[in-house]
Chains A and B, each alone.
Chain A
Amino acid sequence: MKDVLKVAILGNPNCGKTAIFNLLTNLNEKVSNYPGITVEKKVADFNLDESKKISLEDYPGSYSVVSQSIDEKIVSENIYKWIRQPELKPDTIIYVADANNIRRNLYFCSQLLELDIPTILLLNMNDLLINENKFDYVKLKEELNILNVIPFSAVTKVGLDELKGNLRELFSLSEFKKNCKMNLGKDILESIIPVTESIESVFKVKDTFKNNLSLRFICNPEHLDNILLNEDDKLKIRNSINKSIDGLNKDMKPLLTTLESDLRYGWIDEVLLKCSFKKIKVIEKKTFSEKIDGVLTHSFFGPIIFVGILYFIFQSIFSWAGYPMDLIDSLVASFGNYIYSIMPDGLFRDLIVDGVIAGIGGIVIFLPQIILLMSFMTLLEDSGYMTRVTFMMDRFMRTMGLHGKSILPIMSGYACAIPGIISTRTIDSWKERLITILILPLISCSARLPVYVLMIGTFIPETYLFGLVGLQGFVMVLMYFLGTITAFILAKIFSKVLTESSNPSFVMELPAYRFPIFKSVFRQVYNRGKLFLFDAGKIIMIISIALWFLASFPKNNFGEVDISNSYAGKIGKTIEPVIEPLGFDWKIGIALITSFAAREVVVSTLSTIYNIDNDGEDMVSLKEAMRNDIDEKTGKKTYTPLIAISLMVFYVYAAQCMVTFAVIKTETNGWKWPIFMIFYMTILAYTASLLVFQVGKILGFS
C-alpha cells in the first residue's frame, strides 16, 4: 500500500490535460507553482479519499519525446530523468488523448508506454466524438496491455468516476503487466548493434526499450543535445551512432530522419486495425469550425475582427475596471482613516497606516484590471481563437522580426510582462523568442497604468480636442501607443543585429473551436491573480514599509520629521542633479528608486511622502498635494503638465521591475540579456524624457 500516489498527466497539446487536472484536484488543493517559473510543471497534492493522497503533475503538451520547443524540452528532460533514475518515475501516467484524433495521439503515448509505467488512457472530448472516428476501445486496452482505456469528457464528467476508481486501485497494485511495445525487425536490429550497446551502458535499459531508444538516437543524433547527459556519455553514443550509420545501406540514409516515426505509425496502424478503427482515406467536407474560420481568418475581415476584439478588451479594462478600482481606493482610504482614528498616537500607528495599509492598497487596486484582462485572454485562448490570430499575424510579425506566436506574449504584456515572458516558451525559434522577451517590458503593463492615471488626472486638463476626443484619454492612448510602436521598431532592429540561431519553421496544430470550460477559465484567472497578489504583493509590501522607515527618520528634536531631511529625502536629493534635466525633483527621485522594485510603487511612494510631510489628520489627496506643491527655491509650482508628460514617457521606457529581470535571467540562462535590457531601456528612457522636457520647454510649454 502506497502512502502517496505520484500521478503524471501527459498528452498532446490542446487535448484538455489542464481541464482534467482541474477536474481532479477540484480547486481544493495547493498548487505549489506557477507553470514554468521554477519547477516547470504544475504540481498539486490532494486527497482522493481519506488517507489516499495523490500528488498530481501536469506537464506541458508534447507531440513527441523528441522535443522541439522549450515547453516540450521540459517534458523530454523529465522522461529521460525517469529512464535513468527509475525511482523517480511516477506511479501512474494518465495519458490524455483527443478521442477524435486517436491515431496521432497514440504516437507520443506509444513512446511513453516503453517506460513501463502503469498507464490509463483517457479518450477525452468523447462528447464530441464523431461516428467515423469510433473504434473498439476495450480492444485497444487489450492490445496495448495497459491499465484502462476510458472514454472521457471534461465537460460532462463522463468517465471521472471510473478514473477515480482506477486511481484508488493503484494504491494497492501488486503486479504490473508490462505495456505493449513496438518491436523492430531483425535487419534493423542488426545494423544498430553498436548503438544499442552504448545506450544500454548509458541508460541501463534493456530489450525492446533499449532497441527503440537506440533507433531514436540514430534517426536524430541532434536529439542528444536536448537531453541532460554528461559529455563522455554523449560522445560514446555519438561515436556508436557514426559507426552504425557507416554500416548502413546508402539508400537508407535519406530515410533515416523519419524512420522512427514511419515504423511507429506502422505499429500504431496495426494496433488500431485490430480495434476496428477506420483510417481516414478521404478528407471530408467543410466542418463547422472551417466555416467559422472562413470569416475569422479571412484575409481582410480576419485582422479587422481581431483589432475590434482588442479594442473591446482595452475599452472594457479602462471603463469597467474603473468602478471596482474607485471602490477599492475609497475603501482603503477610509479604512486607513478609521485605523488612524482608533489607534493611539505614535510610531506604530504611522507604520500601520502610512506603511502597511498604503502598501496593501497599492496592490489590491490592480486586481480588477488584471482579472479582466486575464479572463479575456484565457477565453480567447481556450476557445481556440488565439491560435488563429497566431496564424493570421505570422506574416506581419515576421516582417517585424518576431514570430506569429509572439502575439500572445505581447498581449499578456499589457497586463504584466512576467506571464508574457513565460509564455514565449512555445516559440520554438530561439532568436524570435529572445527578441520577444527583449521587447516585452516596453509594452505598457498594468503597473504603469496608475502612474499614467495619476499624472493625467492631476495635470492634463479635462478638455476636448476639436470638441470630440477627450484630451486625457488621448494622452493615455498615446502612452500605450508609444511603448508598442517602440517595441516593434526595436524588434526589427534586434532581428537585424542579433546573430542568434533561428528556426524558420512554424508547424502548429489548429484546434477546433471549443466552448471554454468555465471552471478551467476561472481557475487560470484565479491562479494568475493569486500569483500577482502574493508574489508581487510581498515585494510591494516590503518596499512600502522600508520606504516608510526611510521617509520617517531621522526625527528632529521635536520628534517630527521634515521629509526633505529624512533618509529618503537625502537619497532623492543625491540623485536630483541627474534627473533635473528631465524636469524631476528629489521627490520623484525617491519614487524612481522605489520603482525598481515595481512601477506601481510610485503612487504609494508619493502618497507616503506627502502624507508624512503633511502630518495631518487625514490622508491627503495625492492629486491635490501634487498640484499645489510649491518649489521652495523658485516659488513656482513644482510640477507642470510638461513634467507630467516627461515622467510618463520615462515610465513607458524605463527598466524598473526587478521581478521581470529575474524571470528573464532564468528564461535566458544568465545575466547577459537582462543586463543588456536594463542598459538599453535606461538609455531609451533618459533620452526620450530629456527630449520631451527640453524640446517642450523650447517650444514654450510648461
Chain B
Amino acid sequence: MKNLYKLRENDIAKIISLDNKNHSKLRLAEMGLMPGVQVRMIKKTPFGGPVLIKINNYYLTLRKEDASFIFIIGD
C-alpha cells in the first residue's frame, strides 16, 4: 500500500486508512482527515522534513512519521 509521504508534489490521491501507529490519528480525524477524503500534496521539505497537504479546502502540515502511516490510493 502506498503511503502519503510517497505522494509527489501536486499529485492527488484518496485516503484509504490511517494506521494505529499514527500518533495523531485522533487529531487528524477531528480535523477531517479520514478515509475517503481527497488529498493533494502541496509541498515536501528537503531532508525528510514535514510535508504540506491540502484536504477539503485547508492546509495541514504533517511530519514524515505521521504521513508514512496514512495510506492512499491514486486518484
A contact residues vs B (CB 8 Å cutoff): 63-64, 66, 68, 100-101, 103-104, 107, 133, 219-220, 254, 257-258, 261-262, 265, 280-284, 290, 293, 297, 299, 390-392, 394-395, 404, 503-510
Partner of B58, one of A68, A392, A394, A509: A509
Complex Cα gap A62–B56 (Å): 19
Residues B57 and A107 in contact, CB atoms below 8 Å apart: no
Partner of A505, one of B38, B42, B59, B65: B65
- Which residue of chain A has the shortest Cβ distance to B65 in the bound complex? A504
Residues B43 and A63 in contact, CB atoms below 8 Å apart: no
Partner of B60, one of A220, A283, A390, A509: A509
Partner of B50, one of A63, A104, A258, A506: A506
Residues A505 and B23 in contact, CB atoms below 8 Å apart: yes
Residues B20 and A257 in contact, CB atoms below 8 Å apart: yes
Residues B57 and A101 in contact, CB atoms below 8 Å apart: yes
Q: A261-B34, A262-B34, A282-B38 are in contact. Are A507 and B48 (CB under 8 A)?
A: no
Set of chain B residues within 8 Å of A220, measured between Cβ atoms? 26
B46 within 8 A of A: yes
- How far does the Cβ of A277 sit from chain B's closest Cβ, in whole Å? 12
Residues B26 and A104 in contact, CB atoms below 8 Å apart: no
Interface residues of B in 22-66 (CB under 8 A from A): 23-32, 34, 38-40, 42-43, 45-50, 52, 54-63, 65-66
B contact residues vs A (CB 8 Å cutoff): 12, 18, 20, 23-32, 34, 38-40, 42-43, 45-50, 52, 54-63, 65-66
Q: A104-B32, A293-B43 are in contact. Are A261 and B50 (CB under 8 A)?
A: no
By secondary structure, the B interface counts as mixed
- Which residue of chain B has the shortest Cβ distance to A68 in the bound complex? B27
Q: Count CB-based A-B contacts (< 8 Å).
A: 118
Residues B40 and A283 in contact, CB atoms below 8 Å apart: yes
Residues B60 and A504 in contact, CB atoms below 8 Å apart: no
Complex Cα gap A282–B12 (Å): 9
- How far does the Cβ of A210 sit from chain B's closest Cβ, in whole Å? 21
Complex Cα gap A509–B30 (Å): 12
Residues B29 and A261 in contact, CB atoms below 8 Å apart: yes
Residues B56 and A104 in contact, CB atoms below 8 Å apart: yes
Residues A394 and B45 in contact, CB atoms below 8 Å apart: yes
14 CB-based A-B contacts, threshold 8 Å: A103-B32, A104-B31, A107-B30, A219-B26, A257-B25, A258-B34, A265-B32, A280-B56, A280-B57, A284-B57, A293-B42, A390-B61, A391-B52, A507-B60
Set of chain A residues within 8 Å of B60, measured between Cβ atoms? 507-510
- How far does the Cβ of B42 sit from chain A's closest Cβ, in whole Å? 6
Set of chain A residues within 8 Å of B24, measured between Cβ atoms? 68, 505, 507
Residues A395 and B46 in contact, CB atoms below 8 Å apart: yes
Residues B49 and A394 in contact, CB atoms below 8 Å apart: yes
Known: A101-B56, A505-B66, A506-B63. 15 other contacts (CB 8 A): A63-B31, A68-B27, A257-B25, A258-B18, A281-B38, A283-B12, A293-B42, A391-B45, A391-B50, A392-B45, A395-B46, A404-B61, A504-B63, A507-B28, A507-B62
Q: A395-B50, A506-B50 are in contact. Are A265 and B34 (CB under 8 A)?
A: yes
Complex Cα gap A281–B75 (Å): 12
Complex Cα gap A51–B61 (Å): 47
Q: A283-B54, A395-B48, A404-B50 are in contact. Are A509 and B29 (CB under 8 A)?
A: no
Complex Cα gap A91–B58 (Å): 32
Residues A262 and B38 in contact, CB atoms below 8 Å apart: no
- How far does the Cβ of B61 sit from chain A's closest Cβ, in whole Å? 5
Set of chain B residues within 8 Å of A219, measured between Cβ atoms? 26
Residues B26 and A258 in contact, CB atoms below 8 Å apart: yes
Partner of A506, one of B12, B55, B58, B61: B61
Set of chain B residues within 8 Å of A100, measured between Cβ atoms? 57
Residues B61 and A507 in contact, CB atoms below 8 Å apart: yes
Complex Cα gap A506–B26 (Å): 13
- Which residue of chain B has the shortest Cβ distance to A299 in the bound complex? B46
Interface centre among A64, A66, A395 (most CB of B within 10 A): A395
Set of chain B residues within 8 Å of A504, measured between Cβ atoms? 23, 63, 65-66
Set of chain B residues within 8 Å of A68, measured between Cβ atoms? 24, 27
Interface centre among B12, B34, B63 (most CB of A within 10 A): B63
Residues A507 and B31 in contact, CB atoms below 8 Å apart: yes
Set of chain A residues within 8 Å of B39, measured between Cβ atoms? 283
Q: A299-B46, A395-B48 are in contact. Are A509 and B59 (CB under 8 A)?
A: yes
Set of chain B residues within 8 Å of A103, measured between Cβ atoms? 32, 56
Set of chain B residues within 8 Å of A299, measured between Cβ atoms? 45-46
Complex Cα gap A395–B65 (Å): 12
Set of chain A residues within 8 Å of B29, measured between Cβ atoms? 257-258, 261-262
